[in-house]
Homo-oligomer: A and B are copies of this chain.
Amino acid sequence: MDRTGIQPDSALAGAVTELAEVLGPKGIFTQAGDRARYASDQSGLVGDTPVAVLRPASTEEVSRVLAICSRHRIGVVPQGGRTGLSGGACSPQDAVVLSTERMSGVVEVDREAMTLTAWAGTPLEAVQEAARAADLDYPVDIGARGTATIGGTIATNAGGIRVLQHGMTRPNVLGLEAVLADGSVVSRLGKTVKDNSGFDLKQLFIGSEGTLGVVTKAVLQLRRHVPQSALALFALPDHASALVCLTAARQRFGSRIRAFEGMWPDYWNFVCHQTALATAPLAGQHGFYLLVEIEAASTQTEEELEAFFADLFERGVFEDGVLAKSLAEMRALWSVREAVGEVDDDFGHHINFDIGVSPSALGNFCDAADSVLAELPEAVGVLKVGHVGDGNVHLLVAHDGSAAAEERIEAAIYGLLRDWQGAVTAEHGVGRIKARWLGHCRTPEELALMRGLKTQMDPLGILNPSVLFRDTEI
C-alpha cells in the first residue's frame, strides 16, 4: 500500500513534523509529487512513495534525523544517485528516504598524500574529475559515473571495469565517516595509510548497503594518472583459451592489466547484429571474445602488446585479433562491451544475473548454466558478458515477463551456484531483489553472524529495512 495522502498516520505525521524542524524547508520534501521521484532505483523494482524525503545538509543533521527516526521507529532508506540494480534504494511501505543530494562536493585533494576527501553525495564523475585535475586518478569506474554517488559506491562496494587493477571500492577507501541508527557519528577521516589500532570499522559500512549506517564523508586513495594505454580485441576458440591469455598477460604485464573483459558468442552476435551498434569489429564466428587493455609503462606499450599478440598467435591460443591504433578505434572496440546498456532495452524481459565465482571456474560455470537453461522452456534467450579477469559474469536470461518464469529461472541458476562456492551477486549487491537467494551462497553460520551484527548496530531495524535480510521490515 502506498501512503501518498497528505495526511499520513498520526504517529508518522508527528515524526515528520519533528524532522522538518531539524531540516528546515529546503531539507525535507513532504509533497506527494516530490516524494514520488524518490521511490525507486534502476533495478526495475517499484518502490512505495516514501512518507517524506529527508535532505540533510551536514553530518550533524543526519545524526539528528536518525535519532528521531529511531525514537519513532521509522524505516530509513539511504539514497545516493539511485542507480543501483538490486532494489537497495527502493522504498518499502511507511519509510522515509534519506537522500545525500545536499551533502555533495569535494572537500580536499591532497597531492602529496594522494587522497581526496568528499561528501557522500558527490557524483563519482565529479570525484574522478577532481582527481584528474590534480594529475591523479580515482580508479573506481562504472557506467553510471555521472549519477552514482561516492556514498552509494561505498555502500555497495561498487566494482566495474577496472577491478582487476585496483580492486573494488573497498581497498580504495582510506577514511570514512558514518552515522549509526541511533545517531552516533563514527568518524575516521585521517589519511593514515597503515592503521592497526583496533577494529577497522570502515569495513562494516563498505558493501553493507546502508543496513548498518549512513555514510556521510570519505577519504579516498588516489593513484597516479596514466593516460596512455593499449587495447586489443582477441577472438578465441573458447573460454579456456581466455584463461591461457590471462595467465600469459599476468606474467608479462602484472598489475598493468587495466581491463580483461570477456564476451561469449551469444552476447557478441546479439550486440553486433541486433542492436544499434550493427557492426562487428572482427569477422567470422568464434567461441570467445576478449578485450584486453594494458596500461602504458613507457612509450613502447603498443609494441609490447603486439609482441604479446604475436607470441599467443604462434602458440595457437587465439584465432583473430585487432589492436586499436587510435583513440577512435579504442572507443569502437569498447563500444561492443559497453553495449550491455542497449541490450537492456533490446533484449525484452530478462533477468540480469551478476554471478561471481573463481576466475578459473567461470567458463565451466557458464557451460553448466547453459545446460541448465537449455532444459528450461521459460528461458528464451541467453547472453553472457563479463569481467573474465575477476570471475564475474553478467548472465542475461530472457523470458516472457511472468513472475513464474522469473522464479523458475532464478531457482535454476542460483540452485546451480550452490555447488560453486560463488556469490549470488559479485558487484551489484543483494538489495531487496536478491535477499531471498542469499542462503544459496552463504552458510547458516554466516547468516547468523550477519544478523547478529545487524541486531547489534541497528537493534530496531530502521536502516534500509528488507535489504539483505528479507524479514527485517519494521
Chain A positions near chain B (C-beta within 8 angstroms): 110-115, 156-157, 159, 163, 167-168, 170-171, 180, 184-201, 203-204, 206-208, 223-224, 226, 243, 247, 250-251, 254-256, 297, 356-361, 387, 390-392, 420-430, 434, 438, 441-443, 445-450, 452-453, 455-457, 468
Contacts and interface: CB of A to CB of B under 8 A. Distances in A.
A193 B255 contact: no
A121 B288 CA distance: 42
A455 B457 CA distance: 11
B423 A195 contact: yes
Contacts of A113: 358-361
Given A201-B450, A450-B198, A456-B453, A192 B243 contact: no
Contacts of A223: 254
B427 A194 contact: yes
Contacts of A254: 223-224, 226, 297
Contact of A192 (B180, B194, B422, B447): B422
Number of copies: 2
Q: Which of A192, A256, A391 has the most CB of B within 10 A?
A: A192
A393 B390 CA distance: 35
24 contacts: A112-B360, A113-B361, A159-B194, A163-B193, A163-B194, A180-B449, A187-B446, A188-B443, A191-B359, A192-B358, A192-B423, A193-B391, A193-B392, A194-B390, A196-B207, A197-B423, A197-B424, A198-B438, A198-B450, A199-B204, A199-B207, A199-B468, A200-B206, A452-B457
A446 B356 contact: no
A442 B190 CA distance: 11
B189 A421 contact: yes
A109 B180 CA distance: 41
A207 B203 CA distance: 12
A447 B187 CA distance: 11
A313 to B, nearest CB: 21
Given A184-B449, A430-B198, A250 B192 contact: no
B191 A360 contact: yes
Contact of A456 (B185, B251, B426, B456): B456
Q: Which of A189, A195, A243 has the most CB of B within 10 A?
A: A195
Contacts of A189: 421
A246 B462 CA distance: 46
Contacts of A423: 192, 194-197
Contacts of A255: 255
Nearest to A426: B194
B110 A188 contact: no
Nearest to A389: B193
A315 to B, nearest CB: 17
Q: Which 10 A-B pairs have the closest CB atoms?
A: A190-B421, A191-B358, A203-B203, A112-B360, A194-B426, A456-B456, A195-B423, A197-B423, A113-B360, A193-B390
A445 B200 contact: no
Contacts of A442: 188, 197-198
Given A195-B422, A199-B204, A224-B254, 5 more contacts: A163-B194, A194-B426, A196-B425, A199-B453, A456-B456
A131 to B, nearest CB: 14
A425 to B, nearest CB: 5
Given A358-B190, A421-B189, A426-B192, A441 B197 contact: yes
A221 to B, nearest CB: 10
A468 B198 contact: yes
A163 B171 CA distance: 13
Contacts of A449: 180, 184, 186, 199, 201, 457
B428 A187 contact: no
A190 B357 CA distance: 8
B194 A429 contact: no
Contacts of A156: 196
Contacts of A357: 190, 192
B360 A110 contact: yes
A356 B198 contact: no
Given A250-B114, A254-B226, A427-B196, A446 B191 contact: no
